[in-house]
Structure 1
Amino acid sequence: MQETKNIQLKAIKEQFKNELKEIYPVEEIQTFFNWLCESFLGYKPYQITQNSDDYLEGRVKNQFLLALKELKEEKPIQYILGKAYFYGLEFEVNKHTLIPRPETEELVDWIIKETSKEKSRHILDIGTGSGCIPITLAKHLPKAKVFSVDISGEAIKTAQKNALNNEVEIKFREKDILHTESLSELFKEEIKFDVIVSNPPYVRLLEKKEIKNNVLRHEPESALFVDNENPLIFYKKITQLATQNLKKGGKLYFEINQYLGTEMVQLIKMNSFHEVELRKDLFGNDRMLKAVK
């Protein structure tokens, strides 16, 4: 990066506002700047004002300028910082993992509230990513034995780090769930799960036009998109596996495509599940589904 003169914090804040105002709302720019100040300087928002006359030098100055460049390229702030927060926990995120969403927090909250903390439970997450789902469940359901599977070895490496950092134990496996005949083969033991949860790829290619550039350009496509012709491919496979490996009375939870709620309910009912419940997310979209074997 080209060397520039030392710059005051208040000046670089103004630079962020001026250079990003055509891309982001002003409130979002302020949030980005606050997060960067906390990460690079250890400042809380009130300290940014108190120390606005401070000069940024060397490495720290260059960190801000690089972050500004990446924000102009619409790189998500979570990837710039290398971390995201989910259900009160911190997770490393990178190009191999999706950034955890608030809708997924709602799904996890639903499971935690419906699962006994007093009894041992076997829980399986399909589609590990950053590990936000299985790690959060393990953290809040300490007696549970939690398993997780993902097709991406790099995602699993990230999730393993996150499990270590959040002090929980998860059994991870690298496997393409679409080419899995039995869940027992993954873990080399016959397990009947109490809960199976998945947030698989569900955005149809035809919906790409609705996706923002920061997602399209930077988040892993394989974790997002499915063909228009068979958008429920992962749900069909996981539901089939769940019929074999869920206990009677066990629960199946999905995060789903908001436009395919009716089709999902039909799919689940066709596979002998009952008590099917479709829930909306905080934005009013059909986003979560639960069914009982």
Structure 2
Amino acid sequence: MLNQDTFTLVDPINGNLAFKLFSFSGNGYFDHIQRHNYFSVIWIKQGNGKAKVDFSEYDFSEDSIFFFTPYQPFMIQETQEIAGVVLNFHPDFFCIHKHHQEVACNGILFNNIYNPPFVKVNETAKQTFEMVLTQMKSELQTPALAQYEQLIAYLKIFLITASRLKIAQQPQAQQDFADKKEPFILQTLKDFIEVHFKTKHSASDYADMLNISPKALAKITKTHFNKTITDLISERIVIEAKRDLYLTNKSVKEIAHDLGYDDEYYFSRFFKNNADVSPQMYRETVGFARG
């Protein structure tokens, strides 16, 4: 359940959530599928369990911080009672795409289809996170001049610290296999997807480029990423579509064409199947149109 340690900022223009910081104990808040139109940072300070995120499941223990993008489906199941802190912020309040050069968390903490969406907190980082959260609470309790700017500055410190921590760690999903050839193949696969995702949408295309059978490649990606090749391609396409919907005024038809889909309606169905919301609804609640 939530306690009294809850602080919320509402956008005065549209009444939507802008920024929220609260503590929780127990799993009641996360025991069903979550799909929010804002970013969520969840610090599990106590307890352990399993997180279901997109197509994958991850075991977690205490002092793990999860990072979820808008409309990314997730659910947390506890094995031992959990407690911690949640930080929510709307893209209108702070857009990680627009501030990528300053914060560099996009692709590390958020929108990373290859690595687990969480980081383990060490003692040094814990001190920084606690200090920043204390400053945020103080700012939320006693609003003053340039409150939004001050909160964004604290949020940047939090995200940069978490990004550095994740880069420094060796994620479980990146452990080497006995066959040293596999990490090289997977790195090449990621490179190929990044270059060709707008034009090549089938698993067989990438298997051909890697000179490996689709079945063998599927086994490697499932073992290493806990996802199929199609999942990886689809998630990369959806990330790009979300960026265009958020940052540009391109029509859905234009975005579909840019991503290799001649049929706008087929693309819209594809997007909704993978993002749990239509392109137009995503734009209306998160993206460019809200500006």
- TM exceeding 0.5: no
Q: TM-score, normalised by structure 2?
A: 0.28
Q: TM-score, normalised by structure 1?
A: 0.28
The structure with the largest alpha-carbon Rg is 1
